[in-house]
Amino acid sequence: MSMDLDTPVYMTGMQQEAAPIATILCCNCGAPIDGTTSAGALCQDCVRLTVDVSQGIQREATLHTCRDCERWLQPPNSWVVANPESKELLAICLRKLTGLNKVRIIDASFIWTEPHSRRVKVKITIQQEAFEGTIVQQTFEVEYVVANQQCTDCAKSYTHHSWRASLQVRQKVPHKRTFLYLEQLILKNGVHKDTLNIKEAKNGIDFYFAHRNQAEKMLDFLCSVAPCKYVKSSELISEDIHTAKKSYKFSFSVEIVPLCRDDIVALPIKLARQLGNISPLTICHRVGTAVNLMDPQTLQTAELPTGTYWRSPFKSLADVTELKEFIIMDIELVGKSNGRYHLAEATVARASDLGSNDTTYFTRTHLGGVLHVGDSCLGYHLTDTNFNDPNFDAIESSNQYKDQIPDVVLIKKNYARKKKPKNRAWRLRRMAREHEEEALAAASGAAQSRKQEQEQARLEADFEMFLRDVEEDQELRGTLDLYKNRNRPQKPGGDEMDEDSDSDDEVPKINMDELLDDFDELNMNEQ
């Protein structure tokens, strides 16, 4: 049967579905492709090779960091803390690129570069629809140049009127043990991060802040951990008479109660009766938001609130710098205990009197659980000491209390140590501060140099005393963060020296499980 070519042909629905798909050749590589697609005359492989979906996105940019505080500039004008190769820094890098908001980001990661190269490389994977129904995925690299730029806060620290609020903390005692403990609490809670500068003063520390609320935050923290009082003051810096705007500097003067742990305290007799009729001659065994006192002869305790103290302030009768060494000749428990301390009757002799005379002293002590015959301990020798204290004079002239004054008041056990401080397996963090002696370095001279050496020796002695308190008191150690010391000397084989090899057996040892990883290593892990 013949059919005319001009005669139209009608096909059924089944015949239409079976009609062959139009196939064309790729104009680039000649591969057969579907001609009905909107990708034109290009196959999928040629589309990926010829179409650049990352066109218009920056391949080079600049990152600004502050050399002093090590923060990064986040446009338009905010400075944020970001560790190298962190998600915070990656977000800053992506925000720096123009045109990136027009595509879909699939993945982004850092490419390792040398730390000294001042370069940051990021590999970014994006997707975009090149033609209708055709999605192209592409990966490219962006290189950032790290440039130094001083942030606004650091710029203020080098100019006049750099700070807006200052916090002056003082305690009138002859040692720095309280401030060393406060330093550790501040570092543990991170309340020093907003400070512009920390300066060492004669009887305390000065903190400087850029805003008033930052100083008030530090003030609230100090009042929550130490018994203190404070005074606020303000100073007018400038005033705009047209807009009535004024600029002030705020100062907070904080004074800590001058009573420290292990001090012996002579209370006013009237105050002692108000505190549960405790003996006026007590020792300070703990300092928190209030001062905790204890009678070493009866184990009776009392709490001296901060407000009560400042209504009628007084000083300690003697502090730790006046402790004397005694040897336990005989000791016997009397059975009374309050959980931590055990009451005992002891016969002691001064360590300096051994071999020269046989003078001994009888006393009651709260250290019955830790002292044994032959042990060395530290205490206050009241018999041969003259105190210029009106409260102690009132106790001596009182018929009720003059017979209760002991010859010796024992404070703590003394551990035999080497003259040179031992190499400890742990260490503490320290705050970066500016000493007043550094500011006076321009005043050269033999007298000034000698004064600085004496001050440095006193600070080292106070720090060594604090480290010994940390070793000997487990309760105190539980409130601090102790870190492993990775800078200890090593044996010839490469192993770290055992702490027992260079220290006395009697000195309390700190369990290595109580120590945190070294803070330098923690910073590297965070980075």
pLDDT digits (tens, 9 = 90+) for 400-458: 888 889 999 999 999 877 655 667 788 888 887 664 444 444 444 566 677 778 888 88
**Domain range annotation of the chain:** 51-152, 159-256, 277-297+320-413, 423-431+457-485+510-526
pLDDT digits (tens, 9 = 90+) for 176-198: 889 999 999 999 998 888 888 88
The residues, any chain, with a CB within 8 Å of residue 103's CB and separated by 6 or more, are 53, 54, 57, 126, 127, 128
CB 183 within 8 A of CB 207: no
SS (H, E, C) 137-161: EEEEEEEEEEEECCCHHHHHHCCCC
Q: What's the average model confidence in pLDDT over 351-371? A: 89
Partners of residue 326 on adjacent β-strands: 350, 377
Question: What confidence category does residue 362 fall into, taking pLDDT thresholds of 50, 70 and 90?
Answer: very high
Q: Which two tokens stand for residue 179?
A: 């401030």
pLDDT digits (tens, 9 = 90+) for 318-342: 999 899 999 999 999 987 888 889 9
Per-residue pLDDT at 76: 76
Is the pLDDT assigned to residue 155 strictly greater than 60? yes
Per-residue pLDDT at 419: 59
71-85, 112-126, 303-317, 478-492: the lowest-pLDDT one: 478-492
| DSSP states of 71-97 | -EEETTTEEE---TT-HHHHHHHHHT-
Helix/strand number for the chain, H first, E second: 13, 25
Query: Residue 128 — φ and ψ, nearest 5°?
Result: -155, 150
* Residue % of the chain over a pLDDT of 90: 33
d(CA 510, CA 485): 12
Cα 163 from chain centre? 22
Burial of 150 (0-12, 13-18, 19+ CB in 10 A): middle
Q: What's the average model confidence in pLDDT over 242-249? A: 86
Q: Which two tokens stand for residue 278?
A: 């405790």
